[in-house]
Amino acid sequence: MHFAGRVWRLLVGVKDALVLIFMLLFFAALFAILTARPSPAAVRDGALLVELDGVIVEERSEVDPIAALLASSAPMAEYQSRDLVRALDAAAKDDRITAVVLDLERFLGAGQVHLQEVGEALDRVRAAEKPVLAYATAYTDDAMLLAAHASEVWVDPLGGAVIAGPGGERPYYGALLEKLKVNARIYKVGEYKSAVEPYSRSDMSEPARENYGALYGALWEEYVANVKKARPAADIERITSDPVGWIQAARGDLATAAKQAGLVDKLGTKEEFDQRVVELVGEDDWSEQPGAFPSTPLNAWLEDNPAPTSGKPIGVITIAGEIVDGEAGPGTAGGDRIAELLDEALTQDLAGLVVRVDSPGGSVMASERIRTAILRQKARGIPVAVSMANLAASGGYWVSTPADRIFAEPETITGSIGIFAVIPTFERAAAEWGVSSDGVRTSPLSGQPDLIGGFTPEVDAMIQATVENGYEDFLERVGNSRKLSRDQVDRIGQGRVWDGGTARQIGLVDQYGGMDDALAWVAQQAKLGDGWHARYLGASRSSYDTLLRSWLIDDAETGGGTDPVAVIALRERAVLGQVESDVDRLLGVKGMQAYCLECPAARGAVRPSGETRGWLTALLTAIAR
């Protein structure tokens, strides 16, 4: 009995300890939820501090709590382009903000359209006679396009700035799959539908090379024109035509070379940069840190300047990321989720609809589900416009076909009208290891598909016919939308990808313009005058997402800026991400795809290094404080 009593006391002690721990966790979580939103008191007279420690996106993804628990580092920070534009426009008009500080130390990139949108907002700040100061240790293409709009561009003396231009190489697996004796069975329509080439070739085909040479050339021309317009002194020709001579002329000093080429204005440490900001906005009386200046962080400024909600609502549905079957997203365009949002909005008194597309496409079935949901909105008799951001290709164009009017920017990548499917089989590899298959069939389709024994000719023919039929459906939808014949669409289709300028010339796009232009057009068609606002469908965020984002991202110890060599090494990680995506596309369970695999996605999909830190670690850290 004495032993049993001790065991009982031990169990009671364990129970009490667990109750105490869970009570502490509960109250810590409750406190974090209540304090997760930025306080309006954080808004101060002085500078608006825009620290871009991640990527600019069309739609911010939701933090997965399970993935966050198991993660080896904090999720990458994401900043919605429309939020940045709203913040900067508010700063241009508000007397409390006397300058904008653009911290690009850990900026990882964005699509060209988003960069241009934010850059134009920075121009409006400068037009209001408020200085914009940018700082980074190393500027790459994306950061340089943003910084070009600043009135003063600073770089660390140990850093630099390099412009490389779009394009590059990608992995091809044809020879590897041949060595492994894996058959990548490819079914496609479109001479230029190069999404499947990495699985069948060891190099790029000539049609694909010609297509992407023209595309990248157009994007490069737009990039150079935008940088030169914002920063006329920039000698981009010198940098890109003879980069070695340019660096050697500065004796290998990248920072000095950047200044000589007009990319930056001043060389200085972060402390010297902060002191320059102090000269413009004054010292921070609340801080004892040297060089501190009064500033308002971006999140607090956004909280203090909410989006307008007066007047009639114009619905905005965002289709961002790969289009997939199911409920995925935000940040990924789950067909079921987006269709449900559109159908829920049928009960709302929307004056019109804008479909914002920033997607390389994906599942044909999910794209069709979204398209039909948009048509149900259109059947109400409201005007529908599509606003294309960086990408509206393949499935991204499929979902654009219901529009009354399509808006795009010159830098938008669109088209890629084509269908494909890829299915691996392993009969040769199995035979190499002595594995075979045998049995009895009652028809040519019995036991198919057979990954070990291979597909019968009848199965191959059926899949190819299905893909070809899907292509005809694609042509029909585009033809009906753009008032073009089947043959006219086929000539501009075949999987070919177009820049926004060319797409407008061939009739895939109606006019140049961004999100504001599309909204204004819908308001005009609905005869709303000035009494309207944009209502983003499904834009509200859950409490746990706000909480996890606050713990894992805002509180992450990401370290200081990296030098140009480290930036190049960081970019190499993108290759591993590309390989992982390619393997998933080959081995994953996917149906017919309307996807633009070669489209240059928004750069910056590279996770910064960080320590192992799941959300449970962050919670315990918060309690320990």
Pairing of strands 295-297, 46-51: parallel
pLDDT score of 1: 55
Write down the pLDDT at residue 621.
45
Contacts of 539 (CB under 8 A, 6+ apart): 318
pLDDT at 609: 38
594: Cα separation from own chain's centroid: 19
Contact 157, 269 (CB under 8 A): yes
Which range, of 384-388, 424-428, 551-555, 597-601, averages the lowest pLDDT? 551-555
On whether residue 598 sits in a domain, the answer given is no
Residue 282 lies in a domain: yes
Total number of domains in the chain: 1
Q: Is 591 helix (H, G, I), strand (E, B) or coil?
A: coil
Report, as an integer, the average pLDDT of 601-617.
42
Q: Distances from the Cα of 150 to the Cαs of 122, 132, 192, 224, 419, in angstroms? A: 7, 5, 40, 16, 43
Q: What is the mean pLDDT of residues 194-202?
A: 81
Give the Å distances, CA to CA, from 411 to 150, 245, 442, 500, 503. Answer: 21, 30, 55, 6, 11
Which pLDDT band holds residue 414 (cuts at 50, 70, 90)?
A: very high
Residue 457 lies in a domain: no
From 394, 400, 481, 550, active-site residue: 394
Measured between alpha carbons, how far is residue 350 from residues 51, 250, 400, 455, 482 in Å?
35, 59, 19, 50, 25
Between the alpha carbon of residue 436 and those of residues 52, 446, 450, 457, the distances in Å are 56, 17, 11, 18
pLDDT at 619: 43
Instruction: Work out the average pLDDT over 473-497.
Output: 91
Confirm whether 394 is a catalytic residue: yes
Judge whether 500 lies within some domain: no
Instruction: Say which residue, 12 or 77, is predicted with more confidence.
Output: 77
3-state DSSP assignment of residue 390: strand
Q: Name the amino acid, one letter, at 162.
A: V
Predicted pLDDT at 336: 94
Q: Determine, yes or no, domain membership for 78.
A: yes
Catalytic residue flag (residue 540): no
**Mean residue pLDDT across the chain:** 83
Catalytic residue among 193, 295, 416, 550: 193
Non-local CB neighbours of 174 within 8 Å, separated by 6+ positions: 198, 199, 200, 201, 202
pLDDT tens digits, one per residue of 492-546: 988 889 999 999 999 999 999 999 999 999 999 999 988 899 999 987 655 555 5
Q: Is residue 472 part of a domain?
A: no
Contact 428, 181 (CB under 8 A): yes
| pLDDT of the residue at 622 | 43
Alpha carbons 494 and 488: distance in angstroms, whole number = 11
Read off the CATH number of the domain in which 96 is found: 3.90.226.10
pLDDT tens digits, residue range 270-299? 999 999 999 999 888 787 777 788 999 999
250 is in which domain, residue-wise? 40-163+231-304
Within a domain: residue 526? no
Question: Who's near 398: CB < 8 A, 6+ residues apart?
Answer: 361, 364, 367, 368, 371, 474, 477, 594
> What pLDDT, on a 0 to 100 scale, did the predictor assign at position 565?
63
Q: Is the pLDDT of residue 95 over 90?
A: yes
Q: Is residue 69 part of a domain?
A: yes
pLDDT confidence bin for 623, thresholds 50/70/90: very low
Is the pLDDT at 214 greater than 50, yes or no?
A: yes
